[in-house]
Amino acid sequence: MMSSMTLSSLECTKNEALPSQFNAIADYSSELLQNLNLLFTHQCLCDVGLAVHPERLIRAHRCVLSAASPYFRAMLTGGLRETNLDVIDMCAVGAPHIIENLVTYIYTGLAISILPYD
């Protein structure tokens, strides 16, 4: 027996279901990012330090940095010297505020204006 639904009504039903699925994914992603930021903020389970200035060390998570940035992925998983270091000297970057803002973006999704380091 043939269903009374037409192709166009099936497409409409399928398209109506998508927003709730996307909302669930967005909610999960947002909650995951918030929880990662909480771990970062409380320095919980951090397994690498980024020395961006002689007096400033940013503790972070290798897996989070690697997942968010090809630069950090290459540095932390590519067999470079930094792969096995607990603290990575980033002072050569010469602009600690850029690394700090990048890490903040990675953990929050919020872009911060790039201002010089004081």
pLDDT tens digits, residue range 66-113?
999 999 999 999 998 999 999 999 998 888 888 999 999 999 998 876
The residue type at 19: P
State the Cα angle at 33 between 96 and 87, rounded to 5°.
35
Q: Report the distance separating Cα 112 and Cα 101, nearest Å.
A: 6
Containing structural domain, residue 100: 48-108
What is the CATH classification number for the domain harbouring 76?
3.30.710.10
Taking 50 as the threshold, does the pLDDT of residue 10 lie above it? no
Q: Report the distance separating Cα 76 and Cα 44, nearest Å.
A: 19
**Domain count across the chain:** 1
pLDDT tens digits, residue range 13-27?
545 555 777 788 889
99 lies in some domain = yes
Helix (H, G, I), strand (E, B) or coil at 79: coil
Contacts of 76 (CB under 8 A, 6+ apart): 48, 62, 65, 66, 82, 83
13 lies in some domain = no
